[in-house]
Amino acid sequence: MSIIFDIQKKSNQYMTAFKDNVIRVIESNKNIMLNMNKSQMLGSLDAMDKSLIHSRTKSPLLSKAYAKRKGKSKPNLFDRGDFQGGMIFTIPTEKDYIITSNDPKVNFLVGNYGSIFGVSPKNQPKAKEKNNHDIIEDYRKSVFQ
């Protein structure tokens, strides 16, 4: 019987700190969420799975001169360093997260392309599945080991 009581005690302890446990587990998956967001950007998609459209030109294509210089036709927000390397994932609550970058180009890129930060609707099921799995696994380890 004491095993049952131990499981009950551990379960109650886990559930008492459930919000903190959820935040801890999701924070441990931050690189996965950031990589999903980076992949969207590199695929010329915004946070809503829509093509990146420049706010001034209203076009999903780069100007011919700029495209020729860069060797690409669509803006893919590829940056070899500071912008994507400086991306930050924070969780203010267990139900919300924020992705941004500490690079100075953030205002320029958001101003030109709009909503570029966040896990898109296409990727949200994968993110949710990963987080749910890891929360369940964390609970299992905390309670049954």
pTM over 0.75: yes
Pick from 25, 40, 17: which is nearest to 97 by CA?
Answer: 25
pLDDT digits (tens, 9 = 90+) for 32-57: 999 999 999 888 899 999 999 988 88
- Domain membership of residue 6 (yes or no) is no
Asked if residue 8 is part of any domain, the answer here is: no
**Coil/strand/helix, residue 98:** strand
In a domain, 15, yes or no: no
CA distance 76 to 62: 10
Q: Say if 139 falls within a structural domain.
A: yes
Average pLDDT for residues 4-19, to the nearest whole number? Answer: 96
In a domain, 10, yes or no: no
Please count the other Cβ atoms lying within 10 Å of the Cβ belonging to residue 99.
Answer: 19
95-132 per-position pLDDT tens digit: 889 999 998 989 988 999 999 999 999 999 999 999 99
Residue 67 has pLDDT above 80, yes or no: no
Q: Does residue 115 lie in a domain region? A: yes
What pLDDT does residue 64 have?
A: 79
Q: Is residue 7 part of a domain?
A: no
Domain count, the chain: 1
Is 12 a member of any domain?
A: no
Quote the domain boundaries for residue 111.
32-144
